[in-house]
Amino acid sequence: MDVEHMTGSTLEAMALAVERSAVVLICMSQKYKDSPSCRSEAEYTYKLRKSFIPLCVQEKYEADGWLGMLIGTKLYFDISTERLFDQQIPNLMKELGDRGRLSSQRQEVDDEIMTPGYVAKLTAVQSAKPSSANWTIGDVAEWMSRLNLSEVPHELLQLDGNMLWESKKMLETSPDFLYNYLHGNLKMNFPDILKLSRALRQL
pLDDT by residue (tens digit) across 150-183? 999 999 989 998 899 889 888 888 888 889 899 9
Residue 86 lies inside a defined structural domain of this protein: yes
Cα dihedral: 195, 88, 183, 80 (round 10):
70
In terms of domains, do 25 and 90 share one?
yes
Give me the sign of the Cα torsion angle 20, 196, 174, 27.
negative
In terms of domains, do 60 and 136 share one?
no
Residue 114 lies inside a defined structural domain of this protein: no
In terms of domains, do 197 and 132 share one?
yes
In terms of domains, do 89 and 48 share one?
yes
- Domain of 182? 128-201
**What is the total count of domains within the chain?**
2
Give the pLDDT of residue 173. Answer: 85
pLDDT by residue (tens digit) across 72-115? 878 899 999 999 999 999 999 988 888 877 654 444 444 444 33
Give the pLDDT of residue 107. Answer: 46
Residue 103 lies inside a defined structural domain of this protein: no
Residue 168 lies inside a defined structural domain of this protein: yes
Residue 118 lies inside a defined structural domain of this protein: no
Residue 79 belongs to domain with CATH number: 3.40.50.10140
In terms of domains, do 23 and 90 share one?
yes
In terms of domains, do 90 and 20 share one?
yes
Residue 117 lies inside a defined structural domain of this protein: no
Residue 118 has pLDDT above 90, yes or no: no
pTM of the entire predicted model: 0.49
Residue 189 lies inside a defined structural domain of this protein: yes
Residue 184 lies inside a defined structural domain of this protein: yes
From 96, 118, 136, the end of a domain falls on 96
Cα dihedral: 15, 56, 148, 176 (round 10):
-100
